[in-house]
Amino acid sequence: MSTPALRMAEDVGLLPPSGIRAIASAAWAVPDAIHLEFGEPDFDTPTHVVDAGARAARDGRTRYAPTPGIPELRDAVCAKLARDNAITEATRDHVIVTPGGVGGLTLAYRALLETGSEVLVPDPGWPNLRTIADIVKAVPVPYRLTADRDYQPDVDALDSLVTDRTRAIVVNSPSNPLGSVWSRASIEAVAEWATSRGLWIISDECYDQLWLDEPSTSISAVAPDAAVVTVFSLSKTYAMTGWRIGYAYADPAVITRMAKVQETTTSSVSTPTQHAAIAALTGDQAGVAAMRSTYRSRRDAAVQRATELGLDVLRPSGAFYLWVRLPVGAGDATTFALNLLERTGVAVAPGPAFGAGGEGHVRVSLAAAQPHLMHGLDCIAEVALS
Protein backbone atom coordinates (compact mmCIF):
# COMPACT_ATOMS: atom_id res chain seq x y z
CA MET A 1 0.00 0.00 0.00
CA SER A 2 1.38 3.44 -0.84
CA THR A 3 1.98 6.06 1.83
CA PRO A 4 -1.13 8.23 1.89
CA ALA A 5 -0.59 11.76 0.64
CA LEU A 6 -3.58 12.89 2.68
CA ARG A 7 -2.99 14.84 5.82
CA MET A 8 -2.81 12.96 9.12
CA ALA A 9 -2.76 14.24 12.70
CA GLU A 10 0.52 16.10 12.84
CA ASP A 11 0.90 16.01 16.62
CA VAL A 12 0.65 12.21 16.66
CA GLY A 13 3.32 12.00 13.98
CA LEU A 14 5.53 14.19 16.15
CA LEU A 15 5.28 11.99 19.25
CA PRO A 16 8.83 10.97 20.16
CA PRO A 17 9.72 7.30 19.61
CA SER A 18 10.28 5.38 22.84
CA GLY A 19 13.95 5.39 23.83
CA ILE A 20 13.43 1.95 25.42
CA ARG A 21 11.93 0.46 22.25
CA ALA A 22 14.86 1.83 20.24
CA ILE A 23 17.41 -0.07 22.33
CA ALA A 24 15.13 -3.14 22.51
CA SER A 25 14.85 -3.30 18.70
CA ALA A 26 18.62 -3.05 18.39
CA ALA A 27 18.97 -5.78 21.03
CA TRP A 28 16.65 -8.19 19.23
CA ALA A 29 19.12 -8.17 16.33
CA VAL A 30 21.94 -9.31 18.65
CA PRO A 31 22.08 -13.10 19.14
CA ASP A 32 21.98 -14.13 22.83
CA ALA A 33 21.58 -10.53 24.00
CA ILE A 34 20.92 -10.10 27.73
CA HIS A 35 17.76 -8.06 28.09
CA LEU A 36 17.88 -5.74 31.08
CA GLU A 37 15.99 -2.95 29.33
CA PHE A 38 12.41 -4.14 29.89
CA GLY A 39 10.04 -3.28 32.71
CA GLU A 40 8.17 -6.57 32.69
CA PRO A 41 8.08 -9.27 35.39
CA ASP A 42 9.97 -12.41 34.37
CA PHE A 43 7.40 -14.59 36.17
CA ASP A 44 4.35 -16.39 34.79
CA THR A 45 0.84 -15.40 35.82
CA PRO A 46 -0.11 -17.60 38.84
CA THR A 47 -1.93 -20.78 37.80
CA HIS A 48 -5.10 -20.11 39.81
CA VAL A 49 -5.45 -16.77 37.99
CA VAL A 50 -4.98 -18.31 34.54
CA ASP A 51 -7.48 -21.04 35.46
CA ALA A 52 -10.11 -18.50 36.52
CA GLY A 53 -9.77 -16.61 33.22
CA ALA A 54 -9.91 -19.81 31.16
CA ARG A 55 -12.89 -21.11 33.16
CA ALA A 56 -14.78 -17.86 32.59
CA ALA A 57 -14.19 -18.10 28.84
CA ARG A 58 -15.24 -21.78 28.75
CA ASP A 59 -18.37 -21.04 30.80
CA GLY A 60 -19.48 -18.51 28.22
CA ARG A 61 -18.63 -15.34 30.13
CA THR A 62 -17.52 -13.86 26.86
CA ARG A 63 -19.93 -10.98 26.37
CA TYR A 64 -19.40 -7.26 26.88
CA ALA A 65 -18.86 -6.31 30.50
CA PRO A 66 -20.37 -3.17 32.08
CA THR A 67 -18.21 -0.15 31.19
CA PRO A 68 -16.85 0.46 34.73
CA GLY A 69 -16.23 -3.27 35.26
CA ILE A 70 -18.18 -6.24 36.55
CA PRO A 71 -19.64 -5.60 40.03
CA GLU A 72 -17.88 -8.59 41.68
CA LEU A 73 -14.53 -7.26 40.51
CA ARG A 74 -15.26 -3.74 41.68
CA ASP A 75 -16.17 -5.21 45.10
CA ALA A 76 -12.92 -7.19 45.08
CA VAL A 77 -11.02 -3.99 44.29
CA CYS A 78 -12.67 -2.20 47.25
CA ALA A 79 -11.65 -5.05 49.56
CA LYS A 80 -8.09 -4.95 48.17
CA LEU A 81 -7.87 -1.17 48.68
CA ALA A 82 -8.84 -1.65 52.33
CA ARG A 83 -6.51 -4.65 52.82
CA ASP A 84 -3.39 -3.35 51.06
CA ASN A 85 -3.68 0.44 50.73
CA ALA A 86 -5.49 1.55 53.91
CA ILE A 87 -8.23 3.06 51.73
CA THR A 88 -11.31 2.11 53.68
CA GLU A 89 -14.01 4.32 52.18
CA ALA A 90 -14.18 2.77 48.70
CA THR A 91 -17.49 1.65 47.28
CA ARG A 92 -18.21 0.28 43.80
CA ASP A 93 -18.91 3.81 42.58
CA HIS A 94 -15.39 4.90 43.44
CA VAL A 95 -13.82 2.30 41.17
CA ILE A 96 -13.39 1.71 37.44
CA VAL A 97 -11.72 -1.32 35.84
CA THR A 98 -9.34 -0.27 33.05
CA PRO A 99 -7.16 -1.83 30.35
CA GLY A 100 -3.97 -1.80 32.43
CA GLY A 101 -2.55 1.11 34.36
CA VAL A 102 -1.93 2.93 31.10
CA GLY A 103 -5.66 2.69 30.36
CA GLY A 104 -6.49 4.16 33.78
CA LEU A 105 -4.01 6.99 33.30
CA THR A 106 -5.38 7.81 29.86
CA LEU A 107 -8.94 7.97 31.22
CA ALA A 108 -7.81 10.14 34.13
CA TYR A 109 -5.91 12.58 31.91
CA ARG A 110 -8.82 12.81 29.46
CA ALA A 111 -11.39 13.24 32.24
CA LEU A 112 -9.46 16.02 34.01
CA LEU A 113 -7.41 17.89 31.41
CA GLU A 114 -8.51 20.03 28.50
CA THR A 115 -6.64 21.21 25.42
CA GLY A 116 -3.73 23.30 26.65
CA SER A 117 -4.06 22.34 30.33
CA GLU A 118 -0.65 21.93 31.92
CA VAL A 119 0.15 18.82 33.92
CA LEU A 120 3.29 18.44 36.03
CA VAL A 121 5.03 15.12 35.34
CA PRO A 122 8.06 13.55 37.05
CA ASP A 123 11.47 13.76 35.37
CA PRO A 124 12.99 11.21 35.35
CA GLY A 125 9.66 9.49 34.90
CA TRP A 126 7.90 6.80 32.91
CA PRO A 127 7.70 8.22 29.33
CA ASN A 128 3.97 7.57 28.95
CA LEU A 129 3.25 10.01 31.77
CA ARG A 130 4.38 12.68 29.26
CA THR A 131 3.04 11.20 26.04
CA ILE A 132 -0.47 10.54 27.37
CA ALA A 133 -0.63 14.30 28.00
CA ASP A 134 0.38 14.86 24.37
CA ILE A 135 -2.31 12.44 23.18
CA VAL A 136 -5.06 14.33 25.05
CA LYS A 137 -3.65 17.67 23.79
CA ALA A 138 -2.54 18.79 27.24
CA VAL A 139 0.94 20.11 27.96
CA PRO A 140 3.33 17.99 30.08
CA VAL A 141 5.59 20.14 32.27
CA PRO A 142 8.47 18.12 33.74
CA TYR A 143 9.43 18.51 37.37
CA ARG A 144 12.89 17.31 38.34
CA LEU A 145 13.60 14.66 40.93
CA THR A 146 17.25 14.83 41.91
CA ALA A 147 19.83 12.79 43.77
CA ASP A 148 20.70 15.66 46.13
CA ARG A 149 17.17 15.44 47.56
CA ASP A 150 17.14 11.64 47.55
CA TYR A 151 14.67 11.87 44.67
CA GLN A 152 12.04 13.31 47.02
CA PRO A 153 9.90 16.17 45.64
CA ASP A 154 10.72 19.82 46.28
CA VAL A 155 7.48 21.69 46.90
CA ASP A 156 9.04 25.13 46.27
CA ALA A 157 10.35 23.97 42.91
CA LEU A 158 6.92 22.53 42.07
CA ASP A 159 5.31 25.80 43.01
CA SER A 160 7.56 27.72 40.64
CA LEU A 161 6.20 25.66 37.72
CA VAL A 162 2.55 26.52 38.33
CA THR A 163 0.79 28.82 35.86
CA ASP A 164 -2.87 29.68 35.45
CA ARG A 165 -3.14 26.73 33.06
CA THR A 166 -1.79 24.12 35.52
CA ARG A 167 -4.47 21.64 36.42
CA ALA A 168 -2.79 18.54 37.81
CA ILE A 169 0.37 16.93 39.09
CA VAL A 170 1.26 13.32 38.37
CA VAL A 171 2.97 11.40 41.14
CA ASN A 172 4.57 7.99 40.67
CA SER A 173 5.76 6.23 43.83
CA PRO A 174 7.25 3.60 43.79
CA SER A 175 8.92 5.11 40.75
CA ASN A 176 9.78 3.76 37.35
CA PRO A 177 12.68 4.29 36.51
CA LEU A 178 14.18 5.31 39.87
CA GLY A 179 12.94 2.58 42.20
CA SER A 180 12.59 5.35 44.79
CA VAL A 181 9.61 5.60 47.13
CA TRP A 182 8.30 8.92 48.40
CA SER A 183 8.31 9.26 52.17
CA ARG A 184 5.04 9.83 53.97
CA ALA A 185 6.21 13.37 54.75
CA SER A 186 6.82 14.06 51.02
CA ILE A 187 3.43 12.68 50.09
CA GLU A 188 1.68 14.76 52.75
CA ALA A 189 3.60 17.88 51.71
CA VAL A 190 2.71 17.48 48.02
CA ALA A 191 -0.93 16.66 48.84
CA GLU A 192 -1.20 19.74 51.03
CA TRP A 193 0.47 21.93 48.42
CA ALA A 194 -1.69 20.60 45.53
CA THR A 195 -4.82 21.16 47.60
CA SER A 196 -3.79 24.72 48.45
CA ARG A 197 -3.13 25.36 44.76
CA GLY A 198 -6.43 23.77 43.66
CA LEU A 199 -4.70 21.05 41.63
CA TRP A 200 -5.69 17.48 40.91
CA ILE A 201 -3.26 14.73 41.82
CA ILE A 202 -3.02 11.79 39.46
CA SER A 203 -1.21 9.14 41.49
CA ASP A 204 0.30 6.30 39.49
CA GLU A 205 0.57 3.51 42.03
CA CYS A 206 1.08 0.67 39.57
CA TYR A 207 3.97 -0.68 41.70
CA ASP A 208 2.07 -0.34 44.99
CA GLN A 209 2.66 -3.96 46.01
CA LEU A 210 6.25 -4.12 44.81
CA TRP A 211 7.71 -2.35 47.81
CA LEU A 212 11.05 -3.75 48.87
CA ASP A 213 11.55 -2.17 52.31
CA GLU A 214 8.45 -0.62 53.87
CA PRO A 215 4.94 -0.92 52.40
CA SER A 216 4.39 2.13 50.18
CA THR A 217 1.88 4.79 51.21
CA SER A 218 -1.15 5.59 49.09
CA ILE A 219 -1.85 9.31 48.81
CA SER A 220 -5.58 8.79 49.20
CA ALA A 221 -5.02 7.00 52.50
CA VAL A 222 -3.05 9.84 54.11
CA ALA A 223 -4.65 12.85 52.42
CA PRO A 224 -8.37 12.10 52.22
CA ASP A 225 -9.17 15.76 51.47
CA ALA A 226 -6.90 16.03 48.41
CA ALA A 227 -8.42 15.65 44.92
CA VAL A 228 -6.73 12.41 43.90
CA VAL A 229 -7.25 9.89 41.14
CA THR A 230 -5.21 6.79 41.94
CA VAL A 231 -4.30 4.37 39.20
CA PHE A 232 -3.38 0.75 39.94
CA SER A 233 -2.47 -2.22 37.79
CA LEU A 234 -2.41 -6.00 38.00
CA SER A 235 0.42 -6.12 35.44
CA LYS A 236 3.35 -5.98 37.81
CA THR A 237 1.83 -7.31 41.06
CA TYR A 238 0.47 -10.52 39.51
CA ALA A 239 2.72 -10.80 36.43
CA MET A 240 -0.29 -10.09 34.19
CA THR A 241 1.15 -7.61 31.68
CA GLY A 242 -0.45 -9.26 28.65
CA TRP A 243 -3.92 -9.55 30.19
CA ARG A 244 -4.28 -5.76 30.17
CA ILE A 245 -6.06 -5.00 33.39
CA GLY A 246 -5.88 -2.37 36.10
CA TYR A 247 -8.26 -0.14 38.02
CA ALA A 248 -8.60 3.40 39.29
CA TYR A 249 -9.98 4.85 42.51
CA ALA A 250 -11.45 8.37 42.67
CA ASP A 251 -14.49 10.38 43.64
CA PRO A 252 -17.58 8.92 41.89
CA ALA A 253 -17.98 12.16 39.88
CA VAL A 254 -14.54 11.57 38.34
CA ILE A 255 -15.19 7.86 37.84
CA THR A 256 -18.37 8.73 35.93
CA ARG A 257 -16.37 10.91 33.53
CA MET A 258 -13.67 8.30 33.15
CA ALA A 259 -16.40 5.76 32.34
CA LYS A 260 -17.73 8.09 29.62
CA VAL A 261 -14.30 8.13 28.01
CA GLN A 262 -13.98 4.36 28.34
CA GLU A 263 -17.42 3.79 26.86
CA THR A 264 -16.40 5.76 23.78
CA THR A 265 -12.93 4.32 23.36
CA THR A 266 -12.70 0.67 24.49
CA SER A 267 -16.21 -0.06 25.90
CA SER A 268 -14.90 -2.31 28.67
CA VAL A 269 -12.07 -4.62 29.67
CA SER A 270 -12.21 -8.22 28.37
CA THR A 271 -14.70 -10.19 30.49
CA PRO A 272 -12.59 -13.37 31.04
CA THR A 273 -9.70 -11.13 32.10
CA GLN A 274 -11.93 -9.51 34.72
CA HIS A 275 -12.71 -12.95 36.16
CA ALA A 276 -9.00 -13.73 36.27
CA ALA A 277 -8.50 -10.43 38.14
CA ILE A 278 -11.05 -11.43 40.80
CA ALA A 279 -9.02 -14.60 41.42
CA ALA A 280 -5.82 -12.55 41.58
CA LEU A 281 -7.14 -9.98 44.06
CA THR A 282 -9.14 -12.30 46.31
CA GLY A 283 -6.96 -15.43 46.15
CA ASP A 284 -3.85 -16.42 48.04
CA GLN A 285 -1.38 -13.51 48.09
CA ALA A 286 1.62 -15.74 48.89
CA GLY A 287 2.76 -15.53 45.26
CA VAL A 288 3.01 -11.74 45.51
CA ALA A 289 5.12 -12.02 48.66
CA ALA A 290 7.34 -14.57 46.92
CA MET A 291 7.90 -12.28 43.89
CA ARG A 292 8.63 -9.38 46.20
CA SER A 293 11.17 -11.42 48.05
CA THR A 294 12.87 -12.51 44.79
CA TYR A 295 13.11 -8.88 43.63
CA ARG A 296 14.46 -7.99 47.05
CA SER A 297 17.26 -10.59 46.90
CA ARG A 298 18.13 -9.51 43.37
CA ARG A 299 18.18 -5.90 44.54
CA ASP A 300 20.50 -6.75 47.43
CA ALA A 301 22.84 -8.78 45.23
CA ALA A 302 22.84 -6.16 42.46
CA VAL A 303 23.54 -3.24 44.80
CA GLN A 304 26.37 -5.16 46.44
CA ARG A 305 27.93 -6.15 43.10
CA ALA A 306 27.57 -2.64 41.67
CA THR A 307 29.21 -1.15 44.74
CA GLU A 308 32.09 -3.63 44.57
CA LEU A 309 32.54 -2.71 40.91
CA GLY A 310 32.72 0.99 41.78
CA LEU A 311 29.38 1.89 40.16
CA ASP A 312 27.21 4.57 41.73
CA VAL A 313 23.67 3.18 42.04
CA LEU A 314 20.49 4.21 43.82
CA ARG A 315 19.36 1.43 46.16
CA PRO A 316 15.75 0.88 45.11
CA SER A 317 13.07 0.71 47.82
CA GLY A 318 10.31 -0.24 45.40
CA ALA A 319 9.50 -1.45 41.88
CA PHE A 320 12.22 -3.52 40.16
CA TYR A 321 14.75 -1.13 38.69
CA LEU A 322 18.32 -0.15 39.45
CA TRP A 323 19.17 3.45 38.51
CA VAL A 324 22.87 3.60 37.66
CA ARG A 325 24.77 6.87 37.45
CA LEU A 326 27.44 6.69 34.76
CA PRO A 327 30.88 7.98 35.65
CA VAL A 328 32.01 11.24 34.10
CA GLY A 329 33.78 10.30 30.89
CA ALA A 330 31.37 7.46 30.00
CA GLY A 331 29.81 9.75 27.37
CA ASP A 332 26.12 10.46 26.87
CA ALA A 333 23.82 7.75 28.18
CA THR A 334 22.17 6.88 24.86
CA THR A 335 25.49 6.36 23.08
CA PHE A 336 26.73 4.46 26.12
CA ALA A 337 23.75 2.06 25.98
CA LEU A 338 24.34 1.41 22.27
CA ASN A 339 28.08 0.85 22.84
CA LEU A 340 27.34 -1.48 25.72
CA LEU A 341 25.04 -3.53 23.53
CA GLU A 342 27.51 -3.63 20.67
CA ARG A 343 30.50 -4.57 22.81
CA THR A 344 28.91 -6.95 25.33
CA GLY A 345 25.41 -7.89 24.13
CA VAL A 346 23.84 -6.33 27.27
CA ALA A 347 20.79 -4.11 26.75
CA VAL A 348 19.84 -1.47 29.32
CA ALA A 349 17.43 1.46 29.09
CA PRO A 350 19.20 4.81 28.52
CA GLY A 351 18.28 7.43 31.14
CA PRO A 352 17.19 10.13 28.63
CA ALA A 353 14.30 7.82 27.63
CA PHE A 354 12.79 8.99 30.95
CA GLY A 355 13.31 12.73 30.40
CA ALA A 356 16.17 15.21 30.35
CA GLY A 357 16.79 14.49 34.03
CA GLY A 358 17.82 10.94 33.08
CA GLU A 359 20.95 12.03 31.19
CA GLY A 360 24.06 10.44 32.64
CA HIS A 361 22.17 7.36 33.85
CA VAL A 362 20.93 3.99 32.68
CA ARG A 363 18.11 1.87 34.09
CA VAL A 364 18.76 -1.81 34.73
CA SER A 365 15.72 -4.04 35.18
CA LEU A 366 15.80 -6.44 38.13
CA ALA A 367 13.13 -8.51 36.37
CA ALA A 368 15.82 -10.81 35.01
CA ALA A 369 17.59 -13.94 36.20
CA GLN A 370 20.23 -13.10 38.80
CA PRO A 371 23.22 -14.46 36.82
CA HIS A 372 22.20 -12.25 33.86
CA LEU A 373 21.89 -9.30 36.18
CA MET A 374 25.35 -9.87 37.67
CA HIS A 375 26.90 -10.32 34.23
CA GLY A 376 25.11 -7.18 33.01
CA LEU A 377 26.57 -5.12 35.87
CA ASP A 378 30.07 -6.50 35.19
CA CYS A 379 29.72 -5.39 31.56
CA ILE A 380 28.40 -1.93 32.51
CA ALA A 381 31.39 -1.42 34.80
CA GLU A 382 33.82 -2.70 32.18
CA VAL A 383 32.50 -0.35 29.48
CA ALA A 384 31.84 2.64 31.77
CA LEU A 385 35.10 2.54 33.67
CA SER A 386 37.42 1.58 30.79
Interaction residues for ligand PLP, span 163-222 (CB under 6 A): 172, 176, 204, 206
Q: Is 102 near ligand PLP (CB under 6 A)? A: yes
Interaction residues for ligand PLP, span 21-80 (CB under 6 A): 39
| Residues contacting residue 299 through CB under 8 Å, at least 6 positions apart | 179, 212, 315, 316, 320, 322, 366
Which C-beta is closer to ligand PLP: that of 121 or that of 384?
121
What is the C-alpha separation between 316 and 41, in angstroms, rounded?
Answer: 16
Binding segment toward ligand PLP, per CB under 6 A, in 98-106, 114-122, 283-291, 323-331: 98-106
Single residue of 46, 68, 69, 101 touching ligand PLP by CB under 6 A: 101
Percentages helix, strand, coil for the chain, rounded to the nearest 5? 45, 15, 40
| Residues contacting residue 68 through CB under 8 Å, at least 6 positions apart | 74, 92, 95, 96, 97, 255, 259, 262
- Please report the beta strands in the chain, taking only residues with DSSP state E, as ranges in sequence order: 34-36, 95-98, 118-123, 139-144, 166-172, 200-204, 228-233, 246-249, 312-314, 321-325, 346-350, 361-365
Site string for ligand PLP, 244-263 (x = CB under 6 A): --x-----------------
Which C-beta is closer to ligand PLP: that of 177 or that of 272?
177
Sign of the C-alpha dihedral computed for residues 306, 311, 315 and 316 taken in this order: negative
Single residue of 203, 217, 230, 233 touching ligand PLP by CB under 6 A: 233
Closest approach, Cβ 175 to ligand PLP, in A, equals 7
Q: Is 100 near ligand PLP (CB under 6 A)? A: yes
Which C-beta is closer to ligand PLP: that of 141 or that of 379?
141
Q: Are 263 and 67 in contact (CB under 8 A)?
A: yes
Indicate the residue whose CB is closest to ligand PLP: 100
What values do phi and psi take at 24, rounded to 5? -65, -40
Closest approach, Cβ 216 to ligand PLP, in A, equals 13
Single residue of 18, 183, 241, 256 touching ligand PLP by CB under 6 A: 241
Residues that bind ligand PLP (CB under 6 A): 39, 100-102, 126, 172, 176, 204, 206, 233, 235, 241, 246
